[in-house]
A and B are shown apart, each in its own frame.
Chain A
């Protein structure tokens, strides 16, 4: 690997630009994706930028269980994102269609339509899980370059870092902090 390729690999890992696409999501994951760019989480430290045009993006972030209307749009937008590109499925809906499973109005899950690289499960996932997913996708992107995505590159991210209810349960399950002895 020569110097230029190394530099390109490093740059790809440090400059993931996102395009966010809602395929019939309830807006929960969309709010969490925006929260990951907010002052508390500040994904821009990793070079993340939310772009308005799929032409500018490297990583396509899809939320929602793919509805009939969204299925064709998703394929179009995936085609508009230029290579090298990666796809992150945010939330449980694009992974499994979640509670909407067997609905007549759905054509999900997402992996039936486009190759997905990273799944970030949760309903909704926490912003830190989303940032981890994006960072993982940027890593995959940097390693893969312009080669077509392999079918099996699917990395489930931290099941524990999922929904608000899940976290509350996790908090409850934790042993109470012991008092510090003086």
Chain B
């Protein structure tokens, strides 16, 4: 029974069967929101799906040797880890099955950006290498805040179990942690104030510059799945604990949608920051709040 539940969570909800259409939907929402903010009409509803199918039908450049094999492998690793991260999200209340903990979820969330860095360097294109270097610097900057924010939430409850974290009572500390997570999401999803790694006007598509066809389709899919996983993580932390599974699922989806909308509108309303401004923003302005959150979490635990 446990195995069936675990498989159902990984393959159906919130896993692949839900996550892949949801990823396309969120990619569409992002493009549509940006278009509406710019006074355009924007792409049709099925656009990310058509893009995906079209990319599957294109040919790929011939690649040989170990670096060629690696270049084929990176997008697949990115997609599978992002899909695994979505499958781990504690959306449904106490369903049993495989309960991964927070550390596994964070590792799976981090893996796509590692793959992007590696992909840029193994493509041996100058634009790819610049993009990868930027992604590495960015990920060192925002991850400190991101991890501290999650750690503060976990430390206040003295648990790394995901389902226990999702059932937390609402507290000011939790909202502080959620705010810190929201500040990190644009950098994690390469959105506009922090869209340095794929700055399309400066370094073309950054690490993706040499990718084509099905491999590019996999990158697009993994980006969409990252959207679902990252917004879903925040949504599960915000969502109230519910017994009814369908209501929990609906609230999860609605909250994720709201976060996607918020991030897209922010992306459309802002311009790209320089790399040193970005790093300074995370290390100087945001880190203080994250450290405060962790400190108060530890303080609360020892007081109790």
Contact = CB atoms under 8 A, between A and B. Distances in A.
B50 A42 contact: no
Contacts of A11: 49-51, 53-54, 57
Interface string B210-228: 1111001000000000000
Contacts of A15: 47, 50-51, 54
A31 B219 CA distance: 31
Given A8-B53, A10-B50, A44-B31, A56 B216 contact: yes
Interface residues of B, number: 35
B209 A84 contact: no
B233 to A, nearest CB: 29
Interface range on chain A (Cβ under 8 Å from partner): 20 to 34
Interface stretch (B18-26, B37-45, B110-118, B149-157): B37-45
- Dominant SS at the B interface? loop
Contacts of B53: 7-8, 11
Contact of B60 (A8, A44, A82): A82
B43 A45 contact: yes
A80 B57 CA distance: 16
Contacts of A80: 61
B116 to A, nearest CB: 15
Contacts of B201: 52
Interface in A29-58: 38-39, 42, 44-45, 47, 49, 51-53, 55-56, 58
B89 to A, nearest CB: 30
Interface string A3-18: 0000110111011010
B57 A12 contact: yes
A42 B51 contact: no
A131 to B, nearest CB: 13
B58 A51 contact: no
B42 A84 contact: no
Contact of B44 (A45, A49, A52, A58): A45
B99 interface: no
Interface string A134-152: 0000000000001000000
A79 to B, nearest CB: 10
Interface in A113-145: none
B35 interface: yes
B205 A14 contact: no
Given A39-B40, A42-B40, A52-B200, A47 B61 contact: no
Given A39-B39, A44-B31, A47-B51, A53 B204 contact: yes
Contact of B57 (A8, A17, A44): A8
A55 B47 contact: no
Interface in A144-182: 146
Given A15-B50, A45-B41, A55 B35 contact: no
A14 B46 CA distance: 9
A7 B52 CA distance: 11
B28 to A, nearest CB: 11
A15 B54 CA distance: 7
B35 A42 contact: yes
Nearest to A14: B50
Given A12-B57, A15-B54, A42-B41, A52 B205 contact: yes
Interface in B1-48: 31, 35, 38-44, 46-47
Nearest to B216: A56
Contact of B59 (A14, A49, A146): A146
A56 B205 contact: yes
B54 A55 contact: no
A120 to B, nearest CB: 22
Contacts of B211: 55-56
Nearest to B46: A14
A24 interface: no
A146 B213 CA distance: 13
A8 B51 CA distance: 10
Contacts of B39: 39
Contact of B54 (A38, A39, A51, A58): A58
